[in-house]
Amino acid sequence: MTNKLAKTNILGAPSWKFLLLSATLFFSYAIPAYADSHEEAPAKEPIAVEAQPGEAPPYKDYEEFAKSDGFEIFTINNLWILIAAFLVFTMHLGFATLESGLCQKKNTVNILFKNVFIISIGIITYAFYGFNAMYPGDMIVDGVGDWNGYFAMGSWFGVDNNDVTMVTDAYNPGYPWWTDFLFQAMFAATGATIVSGAVAERVKLGSFMIFATLFVGLAYPTAGSWKWGTGWLDQMGFYDFAGSSIVHAFGGFGALACVLVLGPRKGKYTENGLRPIPASNFPLATIGVFLLFLGWFGFNGGSVLSADPRTVAFVCVTTALAAASGALSSMVCSYLACKKPDLSMALNGILAGLVGITAGADSVGIADSIIIGLIAGAIVVYSILFFDKLKIDDPVGAISVHGVCGIWGTLAVGIFSEEYTVGTQLIGTLSYSVFAFVFAYVVFSILKMTIGVRVTEEEEERGLDITEHGQEAYGS
């Protein structure tokens, strides 16, 4: 019975949808391959650590480079950015456990499967397309770039092994290209993971996999290039240190669009008002939030893009303070709002503080970070209650945590830092939010009209684990 259901219901119905998925993957390779042979490839000549644009790399070979004065710092930078990449990787485990802990037992396998898929497809698409699309790199060489600042075609990420210093003409002169790729690839997958939680418990697996592939493989690097690839928002003076907007608001408002297309879970909003759907496993959710907190030290600390002791230390402290004050603030606010000390709100408070500090972790003051966290922790509580009032069903609170607090964090840079203005910050954060929302809305709507995005009522009732996977999360 179980197996029969599993057979007939996966990915909607016919297995050609898996072919569609494969086609998508192929497509993300074919386009750049085509592009590579039809346009001049983006200039990827190595620029050595201290070389000026246009100069030749100053080292004959790697051995000579290894004896140079800057090599120790180069090595330390590399080590730190790699470790930061590992920490950001850990966040994916954090998301997997948080989301599966906050949802119902019967959809746990489905959530875990999606998370395994997202980190995998995220790394692979970033290698085939995303990295070079997000960091076209020419801007730094030419002063004014020969890409338009809005969209650069991606391509296979690999560099020539003969590059002496393994650095590129993109933004990172201080550590190797490969490290750069790994760190950024771990970031890339985060956006789609945020959506994963919001659409959980009723989304059709195959449709989500297609959406996630496009969202992480195409939309994220395009939008990311606007700021981090030195595109139009960067030139306008917009600042987003580690991605309150570029990653979190992007993911959060992509999630909002998907949830609007998808609709709420069956039975959540009834005639008699909201019927809460309790979390299935709070220890799992708590593990998730602690791992996200841990990983955020890499997310923010690694975004310094070097191991510079002053900045990295500062960033880690603002990150920790915002997380801690976010938790305390959420505890108080949710107590005031719900008259009980709510664990899920406390957990979301930590995340809210972290999302809030992400845009300005290096540029606001130490005390400001506490204020940013306190406000984020309050925002997330009322935002979650607000979306529930609107009957927008987000099982894990992702829209509030990542979307709303992502906007707050971006604006906070304009408020607390003298260098940046609230106006530019607003333009930037809205650009990311609106772009992600529109992209997600369009793609998800097309999927809805073609292969469908939502499981049947019966499948939702029985749970996606049995109906999509033929597996139960908790056996005997």
Q: Minimum distance from CB of 11 to its own copies (Å)? A: 8
Per-residue tokens: 467: 């109906």
Closest-CA residue to 355 (of 365, 345, 338, 369) = 369
Contact predicate 88/298, CB 8 Å: yes
Q: For its own copies, which residue of 47, 133, 170, 182 counts as binding (CB under 8 A)? A: 182
Q: What Rg do the C-alpha atoms of the chain give, in angstroms?
A: 22
Q: Using CB under 8 A, which of 49, 214, 223, 291 touches its own copies? A: 291
- Answer for which of 53, 267, 309, 423 binds its own copies (CB under 8 A) is 309
Residues 324, 346: contact at Cβ < 8 Å?
A: no
- The span from the CA of 133 to the CA of 358, in Å, is 23
Restricting to residues 211-250, name those near its own copies by CB under 8 A. none
| Minimum separation from the CB atom of position 192 to its own copies (A) | 14
Of 32, 42, 154, 176, which lies in the binding site for its own copies, with binding defined by CB under 8 A? 176
Residue 323 lies near its own copies (rule: CB under 8 A) = yes
Choose one: 247-255, 273-281, 407-415, 421-429; the region binding its own copies (CB under 8 A).
273-281
Single-letter residue type at 16: W
Shortest distance, position 370 Cβ to its own copies, whole Å: 7
Distance CA(206)–CA(219), nearest Å, equals 19
Among 13, 33, 79, 442, binds its own copies (CB under 8 A): 79
What angle in degrees, to the nearest 10, is found between the helix axes of 108-125 and 71-102?
A: 150
Please give the Cα distance from 239 to 227 (Å, whole number). Answer: 8
Number of residues that bind its own copies (CB under 8 A): 119
Q: Which two tokens stand for residue 457?
A: 């009522």
**Residue 443 interacts with its own copies (CB under 8 A): yes or no:** no
By CB under 8 A, name the one of 192, 359, 412, 473 that touches its own copies: 473
3-state secondary structure 21-63: HHHHHHHHHHHHHHHHHHCCCCCCCCCCCCCCCCCCCCCCCHH
The answer for residues whose C-beta is within 8 angstroms of residue 128's C-beta and 6 or more apart is 28, 29, 32, 154, 156, 157
Query: Least distance (Å) from its own copies to the CB of residue 109?
Result: 5
Site residues (CB under 8 A) for its own copies, limited to 12-31:
15, 18, 22, 25
SS3 label, residue 10: coil
171 binds its own copies (CB under 8 A): no
Q: Does 160 bind its own copies (CB under 8 A)?
A: no
Binding of residue 38 to its own copies (CB under 8 A): no
CB 210 within 8 A of CB 272: no
Nearer to its own copies by Cβ, of 428 and 463: the residue is: 463
| Least spacing, CB of residue 227 vs its own copies, in Å | 24
Residue 294 CB, shortest distance to its own copies, in Å, is 6
Task: Decide: 252 and 398 in contact? Cβ < 8 Å.
Answer: yes
Pick the piece of the chain touching its own copies (CB under 8 A) from 43-51, 82-90, 133-141, 267-275: 82-90
Among residues 37, 271, 273, 339, the one that binds its own copies under rule CB under 8 A: 339
Which H/E stretch holds residue 369? helix 366-389
* Binders in 190-209 for its own copies, by CB under 8 A: 205
- Rounded Cα distance between 52 and 37, Å, is 29
The length of the chain, given as a count of residues? 476
Q: Is 210 an interacting residue with respect to its own copies (CB under 8 A)?
A: no
Asked if 445 is part of the footprint of its own copies (rule: CB under 8 A), the reply reads no
Does 416 help bind its own copies (rule: CB under 8 A)? no
Q: For residue 273, state whether it binds its own copies (rule: CB under 8 A).
A: no
Residue placing its CB nearer to its own copies in the complex, 321 or 411? 321
Closest of 101, 48, 59, 90 to residue 284, by C-alpha: 101
Q: Does 287 bind its own copies (CB under 8 A)?
A: yes
Binds its own copies (CB under 8 A): choice among 24, 27, 35, 86:
86
Which of residues 59, 74, 220, 250 is near its own copies by CB under 8 A? 74
